[in-house]
Amino acid sequence: MTEPLVIFDLDDTLIDYAQAADRALASFAHQRGLGESGVQFLRDVNAGTLTVHEAWQLIGEHFLLPESADELARSVAATLPDHAVAFEGAVEGLNSLREAGWRTALLSNGSPSVQLTKVRATGMEELFDAVLICDPGGTRKPDPTVFEDIAVRAGGGLRNSWMVGDSLTSDIGGGQAAGLTTLWISHGRILPDHGPQPDHVVSNISAAFQILLKEGPTS
């Protein structure tokens, strides 16, 4: 019998995107010698209601930086993958699943080079039986075919498979269309009455691992 498979999304599922962005801002401030007050200024501006361009224009003017707003924004965005950090318990949870006999896979939309950099930065590159990054120019979640593709790459089919993610449309809707048991990571959000309805709802990735280890594969 083929071992059960669980497919994970990456950003805001296994990786704390907000924390990575904050680390990138702090690194930028320290490289420019802006000090701790500068770090806080960057955080405050980026947490406001300004657009990305408006925020970096304000930052550039405040610190008299020579680059344009777009150049500043791009420079920080380019470093964000290197600052990726896994949610607490993510690496340990993946190891526990594999020790319990699960196959694990990663399915993410985005730039392959960017997403794979995040995986390496968090030390998770050896914790998946298969990885599929869906480039913006190709077929992507929630298309059911990408779920079928990753299952084959992981050494089996979609029978007894789960999908874990934070996006109701891409992860839950796509997973359901492919016939998977779905587990939605809400991060405290309320599940809407309309749209995809996941089989399980948890607030964080640690709780997701608890369900997977307790309930096991569907039959």
pLDDT digits (tens, 9 = 90+) for 118-176: 999 999 999 999 999 999 889 999 999 999 999 999 998 898 899 999 999 999 999 99
User: In terms of C-beta density within 10 A (0-12 exposed, 13-18 middle, 19 or more buried), how is residue 139 classed?
Assistant: exposed
Q: 188 in helix, strand or coil?
A: coil
CA 146 to chain centre: 17
pLDDT of residue 3: 84
List, in sequence order, the alpha helices (H) in the chain.
17-31, 35-46, 52-63, 69-79, 90-99, 112-121, 144-153, 174-177, 205-215
What order do you get walking across the sheet with 5-8 strand by strand? 130-134, 103-109, 5-8, 161-165, 181-185, 200-202
Domain boundaries along the sequence of the chain: 5-16+86-215, 17-83
pLDDT of residue 1: 56
pLDDT of residue 218: 47
Rounded CA-CA distance 10/150 in Å is 14
pLDDT digits (tens, 9 = 90+) for 65-108: 999 999 999 999 999 999 999 999 999 999 999 999 999 999 99
Tokens of 128: 């998946």
Q: How far apart are the first and last CA of the chain?
A: 12
Whole-structure pTM value: 0.90
pLDDT of residue 157: 86
Interval 187-209 mean pLDDT: 96
- Domain 5-16+86-215: CATH class, spelled out: alpha beta
Residue with tokens 């309805």: 197
